[in-house]
């Protein structure tokens, strides 16, 4: 048995497998299918300072080997999270991480400050890259200055591990990664969804209610692997890779590209038990290749 | 209620209609508890264009034979692939999902079960459960024409069946809300599953008569577990997941114009 223990900027994980925000609810929705404590980290649904109703239906359309969504950060706000959700998840013995979003640096910082008070939330993932909200969200994530301004504001307010989730919808994702590293991020996660669109040709209308949505699933994986490879070379903070991971093989691609850990997103919809299968599969692959620990293969591409 | 992800085995395959397949699935273990109106999410193998699972309502649970029936309308590549399954094949299900129809409220209550198209599927199981519990279900089923009426013998074996067809080839001509039954008899409550325009018109009828009414929705879904928030319906409580809070909603919770 190889060691799967992973350390992301002080965050100790029993394995490098995490769940991507917005695809795993608050974890408890999947408790019938997996032992949640066998997952390295659970990143729960995006949380904002104030409640958000999200976008109108339709919010989802299937694509070739993937899907588009435009949920639009529906959530009941950070106060509701602290009062009603946190008590339900605080005793799950893994890293319960909250994904934080907002529409201005002050909102992000205020939301992060509230979560900073919760003892059993060891980290947050900052969503500066959601493509489905008109104000803020990706607007911050697509410029180096915008990304840095949000991260600086949150860094002031948040003392624990700060992960920043990056958008692939940019000219140079490495530049954004460097900007958030300089602004105080402890780690980066990438990629968020790729902006896409599907049209109903009979109605001559976009299928999704706000026309565009974020594309996820195996179709985006090569883009994600490329982004992780570029960013891992550019930064000296840990990189968490995600985008279309369906199995251990996919996860190992990300690890070799330079990710220290991975997140599983859309695959949870196809197999609600996929997370633990990926962790076990990574272990088997490491054993087969004579590796003693997962950290041995991070970034170990042959030149 | 405990949910499972499981490979079930295809025990029987029937084609009751050119556009439908009826899969009867079984397992080596007794099938778990399932409520009428709940659904399953099936994984379609060998269909590259079908990435997500397909939500399918539970048509019938035959405890004696340990069978779960799925009546599937073949509309796209995924459902056509399901129609190619053979006896002995495996089908991976996440189930049972959703809330289901209301259980019997009082013994002897008269419950009108209105279905249209493939929407009749969950009513078979619901009617059986209500009848066994001691209620008096009555079916009102709508179709385009006689050939499109499904599982008629099975419905008739449970309770009285009234039919409308759009071309008048069976039962009364027209839509379900035009059936003379509605002017002759009264009901304690109504449950509906079918195309949205049909559900809206039945809901209007129920509201006008002051009869409690619930409808089963089928918004496009991804996870089926209330995690992705894709299948939301606008309700008086805000946007809620049809897969988890539904698929069955009392009409007063919806924001439909009735």
- Asked if residue B24 lies in contact with residue B56, where contact means CB atoms within 8 angstroms, the answer is no
Q: What's the whole-model pTM score?
A: 0.96
- Asked if residue A16 lies in contact with residue A4, where contact means CB atoms within 8 angstroms, the answer is yes
pLDDT in tens, A120-142: 999 999 999 766 666 555 678 89
In angstroms, rounded to a whole number, what is the distance separating the alpha carbons of residues B200 and B121? Answer: 19
pLDDT in tens, B84-135: 999 999 999 999 999 999 999 999 999 999 999 999 999 999 999 999 999 9
B81 and B21 within one domain: yes
Interchain CB contact of B234 with A (< 8 Å): yes
B227 and B207 within one domain: no
Specify the length of chain A in residues.
303
pLDDT of residue A201: 98
Sign of the dihedral defined by the CA atoms of residues A2, A191, A7, A79, in that order: negative
Which CATH number covers residue B27?
2.40.30.10
Say yes or no for a CB contact (<8 Å) between A64 and B53: no
Say yes or no for a CB contact (<8 Å) between A58 and B94: no
pLDDT of residue A135: 58
Say yes or no for a CB contact (<8 Å) between B232 and A59: yes
> Which residues of chain B have a CB within 8 Å of the CB of A59?
229-232
pLDDT of residue A136: 55
- Which residues of chain A, if any, have pLDDT below 50? none
Q: Which residue has the higher pLDDT, B35 or A133?
A: B35
Total domains, chain B:
3
Interchain CB contact of B51 with A (< 8 Å): yes
> Which residues of chain B have a CB within 8 Å of the CB of A53?
238-239
pLDDT of residue B11: 98
Show the tokens assigned to B140.
């009102």
Residues of chain B above pLDDT 70, percent: 100
B46 and B22 within one domain: yes
Interchain CB contact of B43 with A (< 8 Å): yes
Which residue is catalytic, options A82, A130, A227, A291?
A: A130
- Burial (Cβ within 10 Å: 0-12, 13-18, ≥19) of residue B131: middle
> Which residues of chain A have a CB within 8 Å of the CB of B229?
22, 45, 54, 59, 71, 74
For residue B52, give its domain range. Answer: 4-97
B93 and B106 within one domain: no
Last residue of a domain, one of B78, B97, B116: B97
pLDDT of residue A137: 58
B227 and B195 within one domain: no
pLDDT of residue A129: 79
Task: Mutate one of A23, A24, A25, A48 to test the B interface: name it (highest B CB count within 10 A).
Answer: A25
- Burial (Cβ within 10 Å: 0-12, 13-18, ≥19) of residue A143: middle
Residue among B50, B220, B244 whose CB faces A60 most closely? B220
Active-site residue flag, A130: yes
Rounded to the nearest angstrom, the minimum Cα separation between A50 and chain B is 15
Say yes or no for a CB contact (<8 Å) between A69 and B222: yes
Say yes or no for a CB contact (<8 Å) between A54 and B239: yes
pLDDT of residue A212: 95
What is the biggest distance separating any 2 CA atoms in chain A, rounded to whole angstroms? 57
Interchain CB contact of B80 with A (< 8 Å): no
B211 and B106 within one domain: yes
pLDDT in tens, B212-246: 999 999 999 999 999 999 999 999 999 999 999 99
Interchain CB contact of B226 with A (< 8 Å): yes
> Which residues of chain A have a CB within 8 Å of the CB of B223?
23, 29, 268-269, 272
Angle at A39 between CA A37 and CA A40, to 5 degrees: 110
Residue among A25, A32, A217 whose CB faces B226 most closely? A25
Residue of A128, A252, A271 lying closest to A190 (CA atoms): A128
Interchain CB contact of B219 with A (< 8 Å): yes
Domain boundaries, chain A: 6-297
Rounded to the nearest angstrom, the minimum Cα separation between B81 and chain A is 16
Task: Mutate one of A20, A29, A48, A56 to test the B interface: name it (highest B CB count within 10 A).
Answer: A29
Which CATH number covers residue B189?
3.40.50.80
Interchain CB contact of B233 with A (< 8 Å): yes
Nearest Cα residue in chain B from A54: B239
**Per-residue pLDDT at B161 exceeds 60:** yes
CA atoms within 13 A on the CB side of B107: 1
**A6-297 topology per CATH:** TIM Barrel (3.20.20)
The predicted model gives B150-167 an average pLDDT of 98
């Amino acid at each position: 048995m190889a060691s799967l223990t992973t350390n992301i900027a002080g965050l100790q994980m029993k394995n490098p497998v995490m769940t991507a925000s917005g695809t795993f609810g608050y974890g408890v929705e999947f408790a019938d299918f997996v032992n949640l404590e066998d997952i390295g980290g659970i990143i729960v649904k995006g949380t904002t300072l104030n409640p958000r109703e999200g976008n109108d239906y339709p919010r989802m359309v299937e694509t070739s080997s993937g899907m588009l969504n435009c949920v639009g950060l529906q959530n009941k706000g950070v106060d509701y999270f602290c009062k009603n959700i946190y008590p339900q998840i605080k005793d799950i013995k893994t890293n319960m991480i909250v994904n934080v979003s907002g529409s201005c640096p002050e909102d992000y910082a205020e939301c992060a400050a509230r979560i900073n008070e919760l003892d059993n939330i060891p980290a947050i993932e900052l969503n500066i890259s959601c493509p489905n909200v008109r104000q803020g969200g990706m607007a911050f994530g697509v410029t180096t200055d915008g990304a840095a301004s949000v991260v600086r504001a949150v860094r002031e307010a948040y003392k624990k591990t700060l992960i920043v989730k990056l958008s692939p919808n940019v000219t140079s994702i490495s530049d954004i990664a460097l900007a958030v590293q300089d602004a105080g991020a402890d780690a980066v996660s990438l990629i968020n969804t790729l902006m896409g669109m599907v049209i109903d040709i009979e109605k001559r209308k976009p299928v999704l209610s706000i026309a565009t949505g974020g594309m996820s699933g195996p179709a985006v994986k090569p883009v994600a692997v490329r982004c992780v490879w570029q960013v891992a070379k550019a930064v000296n903070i840990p990189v968490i890779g995600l985008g279309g991971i369906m199995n251990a093989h996919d996860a190992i691609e990300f690890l070799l590209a330079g990710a220290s850990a991975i997140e599983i997103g859309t695959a949870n919809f196809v197999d609600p038990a996929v997370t633990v299968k990926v962790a076990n599969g990574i272990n088997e692959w490491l054993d087969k290749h004579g590796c003693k620990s997962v950290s041995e293969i991070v970034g170990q591409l042959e030149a | 209620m405990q949910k499972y992800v499981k490979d079930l085995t295809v025990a029987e395959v029937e084609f009751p209609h050119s556009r439908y397949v009826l899969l009867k699935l079984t397992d080596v273990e007794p099938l778990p508890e399932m409520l009428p109106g709940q659904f399953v999410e099936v994984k379609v193998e060998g269909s590259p264009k079908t990435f997500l699972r397909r939500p399918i309502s539970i048509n019938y649970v035959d405890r004696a034979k340990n069978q779960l029936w799925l009546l599937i309308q073949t509309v796209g590549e995924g459902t056509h692939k399901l129609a190619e399954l053979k006896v002995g094949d495996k089908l991976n299900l996440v189930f049972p999902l959703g809330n289901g129809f209301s259980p019997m409220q009082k013994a002897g209550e008269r419950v009108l079960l209105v279905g249209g198209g493939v929407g009749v599927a969950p009513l078979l199981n619901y009617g059986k459960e209500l009848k066994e519990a001691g209620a008096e279900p009555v079916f009102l089923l709508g179709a385009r024409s006689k050939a499109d009426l499904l599982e008629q013998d099975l419905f008739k074996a449970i309770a009285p069946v009234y039919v409308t067809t759009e071309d008048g080839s069976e039962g009364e001509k027209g839509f379900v809300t035009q059936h003379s039954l509605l002017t002759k008899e009264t009901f304690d409550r109504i449950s509906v599953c079918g195309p949205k325009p049909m559900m809206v018109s039945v809901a209007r009828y129920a509201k006008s008569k002051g009869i409690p009414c619930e409808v089963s929705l089928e918004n496009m879904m991804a996870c089926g577990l209330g995690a992705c928030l894709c299948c939301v319906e606008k309700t008086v409580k805000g946007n809620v997941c049809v897969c988890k809070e539904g698929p069955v909603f009392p009409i007063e919770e919806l924001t439909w114009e009735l």
